Structure 1
């Protein structure tokens, strides 16, 4: 497709020696700066995500979790790292019921699992990085201590979350200005977070999981009824771990994902279901294409809610769920003439709507490729601020259930079902695209929309990110659509039996870098739904 230069939009970004794509310009700049100072793609990614935790505080931070896929050049390998946290050792359904907890609430201390992002950063840095962690954190420290202007999408998200922040005294003091969310351009300063980042730079992850910072987080949570202990945090010093990635062959390539407890396996399911259809002649913005994607997603998310959990404590049948024969059977349930009224039973969902996350990708001159995602889950996570240390705590444990016998029932040291999923595409033993799409539960849907936009329908990287999105919400039972999908397409979807509803904010945000090894080019894209950009040199 040729870009219409009369229409608003942006072109794909080209480079030859290095490239980064993130959801904030200062984070993209930080990544490139680290590459130019001799760091590799992983160094650049950690430096950038630390900055994002300061300047995009509603989405991410050291009080959250992370996942990473890293493809070291020349190895033919993809390294997967799980940096998701576990429930406190005392967290059982019985213990919560004894405290009159009948349901898990998103702003409760009980949904704060032990944040494991910092453990993940240190593990990746020590294993594959070139720069010391202290150097990687300096740009984030500068942004925290000197302040950074609030950007437009950040301001909009902040305003939406203002009610949550008012519900916590510390958050209201530190994250509201005269009781309201800061406006666009406000220079937001976080000295306490700066000190904590300095402690991590000096002491490594111990500066977070032991000592004053850990004590502050534990005291904050216990004051709100939490079951957390300093021992829980100390055990999480080595909480992040390398895991074996999962993958599927697709259109002459291999698509890699982190394994459960993340939801990457559902990307593989969706690709397998959709690959059996002929490409719709009407293109990517057509009722036929969207209908098939909606129906495939309904089936994949049904499986997610029935089976996805912590594989250390529950058997998650990844091979069975991604078996080509099983996916072919699911494909056979999809009719181009009508939407399924009822799905074959596999499990229900009481999960909440879209969440906040940051995704970034970096490729360096050697061809190392990093796909990295870091999240607080909901906007500002739990809304609980450990004020002395400046750590906003996530609410990833909201993905647990209290339903005993369910695979995702809360349990001691258990990881909840996770939505954040970095992606990597390989071909002939080489990385050709680190990519990701943010948006909580939307992510498997978003990733597969992007991948098919680019590799099946032929849109360039930026066009594939820009393309209008929709999502069959498991929680609401409606198809949530962005405003720029043509009315004729929405009308056809309605007549096929889908209940469509416009959403206030667009679905997620994404970044990707295509590595054209024959031409010696890097081609990047960054989502206009966020404030960021892709840059190369």
Structure 2
């Protein structure tokens, strides 16, 4: 009986009735010639396209989509959080990077945590709150690249915030999970829990307070958030509830234009932003795997999964030790992503044994739920943008009358003195959110990202491998079953001592799972840990845009 069932399951897994020929559920790539948007919510995708139809460019469209996501997907985004972006400028023929992350309050010191008897920063309340950077990032992007006025860009989100929108399935699920944890924090229930309950799937929800906040931003600009009425509302609220963020913290905030960094993987340049984010971990994974014949192993083979997990462990050991705010720590970025360093690290991988503990390397030193979106316009501009409050809806602290939750990104600081990511006032915490971009021979090839905390660099690497090594198209690369390793070294100083656990999506054969266990891997069945992917690429012949948005989220890829 068991043999018969396995035979039937194996036959079904070949999916011979699919045009794609893939052995997993997937759909066709989306094509359009003039403009494209891919986000985790259809209303955000439509807002981006509407803005471009009215004469806006990809940068205007990305801001419009992000504003909409702060309304329709508050479980992953909002102006109480931070933002990172990469912009391919068709005019300049180059890639720009923006670090829109905020810093810790100057009034909150390490001594204060010690006085309070706190050894690890809590996820909720006033202690993990850092300056929200998203709004300044919007205006920084707009000032440098935008075309339409902000009144037009924010108009779609203002409309739906006033009128209301039907809540989608995945968002409704995470809203329900947020209520027990966050409803005790002042202002949260008044903003999100109509009649004492979170809105269910399909129910209409409006956020008039957020509409008012967006109107102020549209009319008065970024200073209304960092010096004006919104700033005063944030600080007054926090002072009432024992918070530390000040008007000076907000007024002194500025986003930082940074130079993206890249590593070449089999002829393709994969771009990430430098720390305080974790993007270079994806580059380290790819460079560690490059010496191996990945294509010859197969995407669901135990040999490939083992190599991938072991490469990830090595990269994340370095992540825990070195990645931090580069204003406070010397991070050897070029060495960490170099071929010679990672190829030396690759020799530490044992082909038939899972590592139980992994040490960081010695790269020539002198002794974190999210939304991702991407847009592209008729001029050839492309935006890769990621934004989040951290832990879904953030700290729970919801300033009175403003319609958004403040982030809890400061939880990712390490309270142990002397480490790269150790807490300090005015410092940016280690960050999990990372946008990505790929170029080929100096030209744009693909803008992409994957939401989901520590999952993100693992998924960036898998998307690249799926396309380059396994020959998948842009949609299949995101739909293919994923590998997630968890439990390895964390930026808060926690270390892996038992090898961590490997979670495999459905689609990996039983034989692969059994072989991995024989190599010493601990396997765990999980749901909801595999992230959410969007991407836009350029067809090599027609130069039309191709886009993908996967089924793990409520998203949509569309264009015209």
Class of the TM-score when normalised by the shorter of the 2 chains? over 0.9
Note if 1:94 corresponds to 2:111: yes
Please state how far the C-alpha of 1:253 moved relative to its aligned partner: 2.0
1:495 paired with 2:518, answer yes
- C-alpha change, 1:485 and 1:158, in structure 2 (3 Å) is farther
Task: Provide runs of 4+ in structure 1 moved above 4 Å.
Answer: 4-8
Residue by residue over 1:12-61, the C-alpha shift from the partner in whole angstroms, topping out at 9 and shown as x without a partner, is 11111111110000111111111111111111111111101100001001
5 Å-filtered alignment, 1:402-417, equals 402-417=415-430
1: CA distance between counterparts of 2:316 and 2:360?
A: 12
2:407 corresponds to? 394
Structure-1 residue corresponding to 2:484: 471
| Mapped partners of 1:311, 1:401: distance in 2 | 15
Q: Hey, what does 2:6 align to over in structure 1?
A: none
Which residue is 2:386 aligned to?
373
Could you tell me how far 1:425 is from its partner in structure 2? 0.6
Q: Distance in 2 between matches of 1:286 and 1:221?
A: 52
Question: Does 2:302 correspond to 1:279?
Answer: no
- Structure 2: how far apart are the matches of 1:474 and 1:299? 13
Unpaired stretches in structure 1, ≥5 consecutive residues: 348-354
Q: Deviations over 1:193-229 (max 9, x none)?
A: 1100000001111121122211221123233322111
Q: Report the secondary structure of 2:187's partner residue.
A: helix
Larger radius of gyration: 2
Alignment correspondent of 1:330: 345
Note the residue ranges of structure 2 that are not aligned, 5 or more in a row. Answer: 1-17, 363-367, 489-495
Q: Does 1:240 align with 2:255?
A: yes
CA shift digits 1:399-445 (9 cap, x unpaired):
10111111111111100001111111112221110111110111100
| Partner Cα distance (1:206, 1:527) in 2 | 37
Q: Residues 494-521 of structure 1: CA distance to partner in whole angstroms, max 9, x if unpaired?
A: 1111101111324110111111242222
Q: 2:160 aligns with which of 122, 143, 152?
A: 143
State the SS of the aligned residue for 2:454. Answer: helix
Q: How does 1:403-442 map to 2 (within 5 A)?
A: 403-442=416-455
How many residues end up aligned between the 2 structures?
528
Which residue in 2 is equivalent to 1:192?
209
Q: Does 1:530 align with 2:547?
A: no
Output the CA distance in 2 between the equivalents of 1:299 and 1:208.
41
Report the Cα offset of residue 7 of structure 1: 7.7
Distance 1:342 1:102, change over 3 A: closer
Distance in structure 2 (CA, Å) of the matches to 1:64 and 1:377 = 8
Q: Distance in 2 between matches of 1:377 and 1:120?
A: 17
Structure 1 position 319 matched with structure 2 position 334: yes
Match of 1:120 in 2: 137
Within 5 Å, give how 1:20-31 maps onto structure 2.
20-31=37-48
Q: Which moved more, 1:87-96 or 1:55-64?
A: 87-96
**CA shift in 2, pair 1:94/1:7, >3 Å:** closer
- Residue in structure 2 matched with residue 350 of structure 1 by the alignment: none
Report which stretch shifted further, 372-381 or 281-290.
Answer: 281-290
Of stretches 88-97 and 22-31 in structure 1, the one that deviates more from structure 2 is 88-97
CA distance in 1, matches of 2:234, 2:269: 41
2:53 aligns with 36
Matched, 1:358 2:335: no
Equivalent of 1:291, from 283, 286, 306? 306
